[in-house]
Amino acid sequence: MQLKIATWNINSVRLRIEQVARFCAEHQPDVLCLQETKCIDDLFPRKDALKFGYEHIAIHGQKSYNGVAILSKLPFADVTRRNFCGLEDRRHISVKFGKDAGAARDLTIHNFYIPAGGDIPDPGINPKFAHKLKFLDEITEWSDRQKAGERAVVVGDLNVAPYEHDVWSHKQLLDIVSHTPIETDKLKDALAAGQWVDALRKLKPEPEKLFSWWSYRAADWRLSNRGRRLDHIWLSPALGDSLAHGEIVSPTRGWERPSDHVPVIATLDV
């Protein structure tokens, strides 16, 4: 069985539900994980998702900010919502797939939205950056507790571009939030703690440039191409050899009223 998983920071699901429908029609992911949905659970556009084929929906929403959701063609065996940093700011949701979904063994997908961290990379004067660093530390602790042999996937807007060629200019972005050494080191610590496999970098190793985000501030995002890879898919060691395909769907950045992030897809043989 192949499982096609997509992750996308949609930057308001109600505003961009037509883009979600178009993406699903063109790429047909089995599971779509969304971040920054920006709506409470009761206002999530469930009817629209049902129309384009996603009967199983798990939501952890919040008014105007944050929020994560998972849309699936396959049934869930379980849904879990977890808070980090002692806050209820709706940045995680996970679903488990079992025999009813056709999986050979249980498989869990964790959908994260890590804090962006504001503009100043100093936790002493920027509480948003301090929150981000604490969140990354808790992700590392959480990763370290993952059970050996568990089939798990981490997806989401992790808001860190960890490697030199995950940004348009390594030297110019070393003091810019999302690529500072303290952030990249902490994200790599989380990767190492869970022995996670970075799916896109497994398929397309450094020094190939990979971006999943382009700022709205650019007059022409294609021409300037000042991107960053902030959106990730990680596989647990038990799934490391299951990766069949992966891609970053950059054309969505050119759609009408786009998100500044684009979808990332991984296809697994499970």
Query: Concatenated DSSP letters for the chain?
Result: -EEEEEEEE-S-TTTTHHHHHHHHHHH--SEEEEE---S-GGGS-HHHHHHTT--EEEEE--SSS--EEEEESS--SEEE----TT-----EEEEEE-GGGT-SS-EEEEEEE-----S---TTT-HHHHHHHHHHHHHHHHHHTSPTT--EEEEEE-----SGGGBS-TTTTTTSTTSSHHHHHHHHHHHHHTT-EEHHHHHS-TTS----EE-TT-S-HHHH--EE--EEEEE-GGGTT-EEEEEE-GGGGGSSS--SB--EEEEEE-
pLDDT at 58 over 90: yes
**Amino acid type, 82:** R
Q: In this predicted structure, what is the pLDDT of residue 255? A: 98
Q: In this predicted structure, what is the pLDDT of residue 128? A: 98
| 200-209 residue pLDDT tens | 999 999 999 9
Of residues 195, 28, 4, the one with CA closest to residue 97: 4
pLDDT at 55 over 90: yes
What's the rounded mean pLDDT across residues 54-61? 98
Q: In this predicted structure, what is the pLDDT of residue 214? A: 98
pLDDT at 148 over 90: no
Mean pLDDT of all residues belonging to the chain: 97
* Residue 103 binned pLDDT confidence (cut-offs 50, 70, 90): confident
What's the rounded mean pLDDT across residues 207-228? 96
What's the rounded mean pLDDT across residues 88-116? 96
pTM of the complete model: 0.98
What's the rounded mean pLDDT across residues 146-166? 96
Domains in the chain, please, with CATH? 2-269 (3.60.10.10)
Burial pattern 211-232, b for ≥16 Cβ within 10 A else e, equals bbbbeeeeeebeeeebbbbbbb
- Determine the distance from the C-alpha atom of residue 26 to the mean position of all C-alpha atoms in its chain, rounded to a whole number: 20
* Residue 104 binned pLDDT confidence (cut-offs 50, 70, 90): confident
